[in-house]
Amino acid sequence: MDFTSVFLPLSFFVFIFFLFQSLLNFFFPNRGNLPLPPGSLGWPYVGETFQLYSKNPNVFFAAKQKRYGSIFKTHILGCPCVMISSPEAAKFVLVTRAHLFKPTFPASKERMLGKQAIFFHQGDYHAKLRKLVLRAFMPEAIKNIVSDVESIANDTLQSLEGRLITTFQEMKTYTFNVALLSIFGKEEVLYREDLKRCYYILEQGYNSMPINLPGTLFNKSMKARKELARIVAKIISTRRQMKLDRNDLLESFMGDKEGLTDEQIADNIIGVIFAARDTTASVLTWILKYLSENPTVLQVVTEEQEAIMRSKDKCGEEKALTWADTRKMPITSRVIHETMRVASILSFTFREAVEDVEYEGYLIPKGWKVLPLFRNIHHSQEIFPDPEKFDPSRFEVAPKPNTFMPFGNGIHSCPGNELAKLEMLVLLHHLTTKYRWSTVGANSGIQYGPFALPQNGLPIRLSKKSQTQK
């Protein structure tokens, strides 16, 4: 008998056996006799991805939690996952044992934003980047750009007056311009159109299939990303030649002591634009919806903002807003907080276990994704009674630790949260004191992709208030 005719089929059988065994060990590990969390992994490869992204995430997550408890396993986007939905578990993953869970994104997203962006790292490199971002986005830094943010807000609202608009799209333009201001300072107007053109192409492919062939959205996005990096490199070169001191994020990144390469700076600038734009725009869109549906709340917000205007007139001050003015908006701030809780723009965040981890008697295997479910925590009846009701007064008392996490938690929480709050407060000041708006069409539905948004991005018609209405 020919040896080859026996050996090759046997080798193939052995290969298949070990491959199958490896897959079983990965998906159904049995390490130290600890059980996996309860739950279902769904269909092979696709798992329960379709169920998650085809329905209201409240329904998917709530049904899982009701059936399995606050920790359960599933399988989405080609990855086995453990989902956690209690404040204690979120604190465990994001704060007390954060070193055991690294941030993780699909590889295609890393390529699109830049592999050296802050989101994709932990340890010393992440700590250095976070320090640089905080240096530019802390109150002491951003209080100097209030008047510039106000100019952008006024220009935005004036351009929308009398028009039927899609709120989300217009808020994306507003937050994009504020992001550029915080990154490049007042010089951003010189590059705004080129940056906008490239970034808008880039974002179109963000949720596309990562097929880098000519003509595909992903391919067009990657080309736009290269051009975006070239524009940023040109800005960096110009800034070095001018040798002028600035207090913006670019200057923070370019500090000689920091030792960042131009590529690292470009990756992080593109990443900050991504992080600063859509999420804040989504929150603003929901605020307009909730205020239009709750006229009593709108009235007290308007009164608070008009009181600030009157106090400035009485003192003979310039009417431009100051940082101190934005600290006198507690009711408006509570509206922002309640909007972030109810809408829960970020339903969850992704982490990956860097080693086998035991939690509550269950095994979280190395390499599995771990998803703290912010939405479940924000909509917990035990934490926030009548959780579906929009009620800003619930934030008159600060929520308990680890129960309200619109910006994440721990060392990877959003370092730009103060800037996001500032641009929302400034826009709402001028919106409520100078304008009125009405929604157009049916707006009871919610769309998901990837952020939760009012149906059709909330079409509204914006008009200037008359003197008698102010």
Closest CA to 185 of 267, 96, 258, 254: 254
Q: Which residues contact 383 (CB under 8 A, 6 or more apart)?
A: 87, 377, 399, 400, 403
CA-to-CA separations, 91 to 39, 96, 302, 401, 403, in angstroms, rounded: 22, 6, 37, 9, 9
Query: In DSSP terms, which residues pair with 101 in a beta bridge?
Result: 353
Q: Considering all CA atoms of the chain, what is the largest pairwise distance in Å, rounded to the nearest integer? A: 105
Give the ranges where 216-293 is alpha helix by DSSP (H): 217-242, 249-254, 262-293
Query: What are the contacts of 154-159 at 24+ separation with CB within 8 A?
Result: 154/430, 156/427, 157/427, 157/430, 157/431, 157/434, 157/435, 157/462
Q: What are phi and psi of 116, to 5 degrees?
A: -100, 15
Cα 178–chain centre separation: 16
Does 79 belong to an annotated binding site?
Answer: no
CA-to-CA separations, 95 to 119, 239, 408, 416, in angstroms, rounded: 16, 38, 10, 18
Euclidean distance between CA atoms 35 and 364, whole angstroms: 9
Cα angle, residue 170 at apex, residues 168 and 174 outer, rounded to 5°? 110
Query: In DSSP terms, which residues pair with 447 in a beta bridge?
Result: 453
Handedness of CA 128, 133, 139, 144 (dihedral sign): positive
Cα-only R_g, the chain: 25
Known binding residues are: 414
The annotated binding site for heme is made up of: 414
